[in-house]
Structure 1
């Protein structure tokens, strides 16, 4: 008989568990075991499996609330806990669940967003790598650390498309493009879940927030969303479908209303699309309190009504609303919720618990030895540094200012984020490791070597409301050969509930840059942030700009790696950077108007601003390298194709510089005439290619009917015969080669 290390469980309870065994542990397939268990459950026990509570209180004193929650767990009234982490606490609470009549184990969930103990770049920054293998590796390491600490389930990846940088949660996603977002969603799901559910180094993934949360009105978190069905299906749903196809175990619904209906109670999203047309077999969890919030929205009359509407619409598990636990059983008995729908929700939850192997060993994810090994593996920090280096975007580099040469006499590292540590980690971390981190000035000292004097002065704090510290920063700058200016946001300026009405550099940071310019110093600018910022004076006047995002545990050293050329930057922007607030929201994937601007000098009666260009400051896909690449000799395998055919597009890519480097080759498509107006440009493929100096390689893409398809006015996925334009380049604004093709009937 299997022996369990039960932590704080008493000998009596251990004996009871081993003698009686889980009442639900029948033989047979997972489906058979689920049905066997479901048949033994009372209505209250079924509702309990749909109830998720936060366990933050369990880290403190044993209050009356804690004792009440413990009793609820022992009675079988809780199916899942969130915000519990670490082997001692997960084992202790699992032991309470095993005192229930049917001994159904708990699921432990946690927001493991961009790392558990090892912190990787925030997801938007990581997405700037466009490196799917690196993104998958980061999720795999996070899963390894989390699962060893008793976690079964992460509330990630967030796959919401975000085109408004005012919305703080763009930090948590993959940017503005549905194709890139879909590929990154797949990579993150694979990384978290591994080859199969139940592996002890994997966790269940959650595709969130279903759906359209990223289109919140005015970029204000939790705000309403109103959009056409065309835009929903074309832009906002594809990353969710990709996550599902990659095997995402769970989905989380959204806080927002969509066209007047709260997503939590939206049967069209959850039952018709997700569980119906898409055939999703996992379960849906609400976001924190979103069932209860349907009352505040004015969609449900009270908590009981909200519970009935949410469950009926397809929301299986209630996170922290206490709506199901307090009201759902009564609603079933009153005939307002069919028992069949409750059974379906419970069946989905139990299936995942069986697939994770929790009925066979409730403690298999709570292994102290594995926890220590995972949390102290030096390879994880090495990966964090490498992946952060891949995520840093070189926005500008006039005159080859970067990389910095070693052997300089003096470098001044100034600015409010020059000595930051906690801010480099960004938001949504499990625990801060700032005491073990190198700041940017630390890392520059390490990289420059002892012969170079590296001075530091902050100039101001991140809010930068005053100029009292400018003088010290200017003194340091005057004495230096090179000035590195570190500006941007603090970690708590981006993320959930961190919407900003003005996304320019905070306070007077831009004035610090101007003051350095005024004394004849043009600094190399490093920007840390969780969103695209507006920094027009810097963009126009700086010689070199690195956009380092919030780069994680090894972000300081990774930034120094790029500054000194130990890493040749290859990252590309996953979101468009606007010139000014008036351009927001902005995306490269715009639709043509009847009066487009063809020439910025002629904007009369055109779709234009009279006080700003239409073009962004930095376009989607933009990013520079310390080497150069040339594109030539585009060829097609054939100029046209029928519905079942394929065309191969190929061209020669050459590294024409003096350094090895990685180019992110991007394939775009335009459908100039269709039954529904198509965007002026759509990303349809990309490849990362590393070439040595002078190396040339032929690159190819395959074009098939799927590449040319779109949702028509009836929301049917189709490709219409006609001519199409294929574009290949280094960014959406830097197209190097073009070629027309034709799809014949």
Structure 2
């Protein structure tokens, strides 16, 4: 139940426009140009800006914390808070962040948070208040977290990005993003924070799970698809949201693996590799971008005019708005480049940041600085125009409301969950399958399921996940139970992810001895709980007073990559029973598998597979789906190898005293239940492009997908280039015995390098094309020359 002011509501829950036609938002008795949809957007924008006070313009630049703007009592009654009314009246706030977010940090639970219908009602109520109770009636922007689903109650939860990258399927990524956008927009959201495009080469870093792995091209390809899915053909469709790229830039290579640590990178690496996914996504049409917490070469990313003004806008042609990460403008004070929040706000604004997430620095201090002549009002106008233009593009001035009943019917649907299941299936990477242990027979009579991640709902979902209703998440145990209704399925946890005191290893071994096969589900966890402590930015804090499962997710950086707690001890004890073992890893980063790779017959990783992950994993284990996921990063043998990415800039890496420098499993690697043969590579140069084709045949006995990967090597250049670099890929499905010709087109974009003068050029010379099934499984090579 809601406390609502006296407003008109249609029978279907759609708020009406008052009077005939469109509203007189500023209530001056006439329809001003900015209120008139018949006028051009630029006319409307400039008319609105002309009427706005300095305080109102600054208010449009602050993104405040939206979950503080409503409250829900024990009877389920929901109301706007006094803080909401105060911020609109006194600060003229125009953008809210994470209004519908629910998690331990916000203290919004299934009981105190909002269902999809309640959320739609609440955001409509907020928009009505903004129209009726503010001077100009400017609609609100609501930004929501959308990394692997809209982070709100009742929505569809997809695999985290590192899992979706393992699909190597941009079209499927676009489809998933379209669902995420729809579920956010139907509840009143307008901006979706995602995709995360941080190239992750420091695997101790807590946020590896949020991005697409170690490769710039794969990250940019998947991220561009996510952008196209979120924004659609028309961001004002009523079913799409603005994509916000995160985190610009070099955030995924922090010193020591520390979240937000400084990045030791040169200009060339910054431009050609770490920023390249952002360039691809900007050219795919992204309308928003978020700065990173870290600094590069002594300059904070939130106050770096080269990155934001010259590179992003000047060279890439970005036309959207830039938002800071939460309190990262405040952070300019702790980074000692600004004396106070007022100075920090001016520094960020001049550097090209348009919106302050947190809202402390784009506030009264900017107004004061402008009135005193220390800041040009043109700087404020420029940023306000970038934000307001997108409000017009989304059609919010003409209709800021959503249909409540649609939110109840079209969010978290079985159809959406089926797409999540398909994404999870395609994300599974089969790492080992000795003696063809997999797929398991459905005739098996007794199955033991063991491990901390076998039947733990939240350990399957990753960070940035809302509370889940009972039964909404299918665990591995439940997925196998549904797959084998006639079998004896017994589950024993065995141990926790981190806790070393409470174990049931002996019981697990007894159950294993009385089974035909043992499925062991180990790994990590990004599951926050309501006892977790948090920084002001929302990052979790390790707590010596208690042991949760959480060892990944924002703020949980590692010194090593070993399995924590008693997990390896549990696995060794189960191995000693002599029963066949299948190891399933559910994790946010690659965890050490050296012992398992030597002793366990079958291993797969599902990363964090989402709400349908249990069904997807069962589909793979029992042969209803042939795995074809490929690793989006190199899987190290030891933390001492880091960084261990494939596209290094030397022809070879010297081995260590203790062992090889090669990863345990290379970038692009993944097994199948069938085999594939490559033949007939052909190539022709056509002006500025090169066409390369290869014949791929399913040489096995069952249908399966192959991920055909094309790498390029520049044989001689004016600067050092990668030994090999992914430039194209294609996931193709082939029936047993079926062949297909796969063609790639390489353009100047694929061949260019950043020369000695930091100019993008295509230099003449020879290029080697390497085509195969992974970065270390090259089946065919050829070369061509550019004159």
- The counterpart of 2:136, out of the listed 97, 102, 109, is 102
Corresponding position of 2:579? 521
Deviation for aligned residue 1:18? 4.9
Deviation for aligned residue 1:149? 0.7
Taking a change above 3 Å as real, the CA distance of residues 376 and 219 of structure 1, as seen in their structure-2 partners, is closer
For residue 415 of structure 2, give the secondary structure of its aligned residue in structure 1. helix
Alignment of 1:335-734 (within 5 A): 335-363=373-401, 366-433=402-469, 435-450=471-486, 452-466=487-501, 468-492=503-527, 493-592=551-650, 596-597=652-653, 607-637=654-684, 641=685, 644-734=687-777
Distance 1:334 1:201 in 2: 44
Deviation for aligned residue 1:431? 3.7
For residue 521 of structure 2, give the secondary structure of its aligned residue in structure 1. strand
Taking a change above 3 Å as real, the CA distance of residues 129 and 212 of structure 1, as seen in their structure-2 partners, is same
217-226 or 126-135: bigger deviation: 217-226
- Is the 8 Å Cα contact of residues 666 and 776 (structure 2) preserved in structure 1? yes
Deviations 1:580-618 (Å, cap 9, x if unpaired)? 01011220011116xx45xxxxxxxxx331112110011
Distance 2:421 2:574 in 1: 30
Distance 2:330 2:80 in 1: 20
Q: Does 1:78 align with 2:93?
A: yes
Deviations 1:60-83 (Å, cap 9, x if unpaired)? 379999424422213561010112
For residue 471 of structure 2, give the secondary structure of its aligned residue in structure 1. helix
Distance 2:576 2:741 in 1: 48
Q: Does 1:238 align with 2:276?
A: yes
Deviation for aligned residue 1:128? 0.5
Alignment of 1:155-170 (within 5 A): 155-170=193-208
Deviations 1:401-425 (Å, cap 9, x if unpaired)? 1000111121111111111212112
Q: Does 1:31 align with 2:42?
A: yes
Distance 1:269 1:7 in 2: 46
Distance 2:229 2:421 in 1: 18
Distance 1:537 1:650 in 2: 40
Deviation for aligned residue 1:208? 1.2
Distance 1:47 1:656 in 2: 64
Corresponding position of 1:90? 123
- Is the 8 Å Cα contact of residues 773 and 779 (structure 2) preserved in structure 1? yes
Taking a change above 3 Å as real, the CA distance of residues 207 and 16 of structure 1, as seen in their structure-2 partners, is closer
Deviation for aligned residue 1:96? 2.6
Taking a change above 3 Å as real, the CA distance of residues 698 and 68 of structure 1, as seen in their structure-2 partners, is closer
- Is the 8 Å Cα contact of residues 291 and 322 (structure 2) preserved in structure 1? yes
353-362 or 329-338: bigger deviation: 329-338
For residue 115 of structure 1, give the secondary structure of its aligned residue in structure 2. coil
Deviation for aligned residue 1:183? 0.7
Deviation for aligned residue 1:322? 1.3
Q: Does 1:291 align with 2:329?
A: yes
Distance 2:431 2:136 in 1: 59
Deviation for aligned residue 1:626? 0.5
Taking a change above 3 Å as real, the CA distance of residues 468 and 530 of structure 1, as seen in their structure-2 partners, is closer
Taking a change above 3 Å as real, the CA distance of residues 16 and 646 of structure 1, as seen in their structure-2 partners, is closer
- Is the 8 Å Cα contact of residues 76 and 101 (structure 1) preserved in structure 2? no
- The counterpart of 1:22, out of the listed 25, 44, 49, is 25
- Is the 8 Å Cα contact of residues 694 and 743 (structure 2) preserved in structure 1? yes
Deviation for aligned residue 1:334? 2.3
Corresponding position of 2:538? none
- Is the 8 Å Cα contact of residues 433 and 553 (structure 1) preserved in structure 2? no
For residue 70 of structure 1, give the secondary structure of its aligned residue in structure 2. helix
689-698 or 553-562: bigger deviation: 689-698
For residue 252 of structure 2, give the secondary structure of its aligned residue in structure 1. helix
Deviation for aligned residue 1:651? 2.2
- Is the 8 Å Cα contact of residues 74 and 96 (structure 1) preserved in structure 2? no
- Is the 8 Å Cα contact of residues 464 and 507 (structure 1) preserved in structure 2? yes
For residue 430 of structure 2, give the secondary structure of its aligned residue in structure 1. strand
- Is the 8 Å Cα contact of residues 516 and 579 (structure 2) preserved in structure 1? no
Taking a change above 3 Å as real, the CA distance of residues 141 and 15 of structure 1, as seen in their structure-2 partners, is closer
Taking a change above 3 Å as real, the CA distance of residues 434 and 11 of structure 1, as seen in their structure-2 partners, is closer
Distance 1:243 1:139 in 2: 14
- Is the 8 Å Cα contact of residues 115 and 430 (structure 1) preserved in structure 2? no
Distance 1:572 1:507 in 2: 28
- The counterpart of 1:57, out of the listed 68, 73, 87, is 68
- Is the 8 Å Cα contact of residues 628 and 656 (structure 1) preserved in structure 2? yes
- The counterpart of 1:329, out of the listed 367, 372, 396, is 367
Which consecutive residues of structure 1, in runs of 5 or more, have no partner in the other structure?
1-5, 598-606
Superposition TM-score, scaled by structure 1 size: 0.94
Deviation for aligned residue 1:211? 1.3
- Is the 8 Å Cα contact of residues 425 and 432 (structure 1) preserved in structure 2? no
Deviation for aligned residue 1:230? 0.2
For residue 742 of structure 1, give the secondary structure of its aligned residue in structure 2. strand
Deviation for aligned residue 1:53? 0.6
Corresponding position of 1:602? none
Distance 1:294 1:179 in 2: 31
470-479 or 425-434: bigger deviation: 425-434
Corresponding position of 2:548? none
Taking a change above 3 Å as real, the CA distance of residues 434 and 425 of structure 1, as seen in their structure-2 partners, is farther
Distance 2:783 2:329 in 1: 50
Q: Does 1:267 align with 2:302?
A: no
What value does the CA root-mean-square deviation take over the aligned residues?
2.1
Alignment of 1:110-259 (within 5 A): 110-116=144-150, 117-259=155-297
Distance 1:321 1:79 in 2: 11
Which consecutive residues of structure 2, in runs of 5 or more, have no partner in the other structure?
10-14, 27-33, 101-118, 528-550
Aligned residues: 721
Superposition TM-score, scaled by structure 2 size: 0.89
- Is the 8 Å Cα contact of residues 74 and 97 (structure 1) preserved in structure 2? no
Taking a change above 3 Å as real, the CA distance of residues 319 and 340 of structure 1, as seen in their structure-2 partners, is same
459-468 or 714-723: bigger deviation: 459-468
Corresponding position of 1:8? 4
Distance 2:490 2:694 in 1: 48
Deviations 1:74-119 (Å, cap 9, x if unpaired)? 3561010112131122122222322111110110111121113110
Taking a change above 3 Å as real, the CA distance of residues 217 and 430 of structure 1, as seen in their structure-2 partners, is same
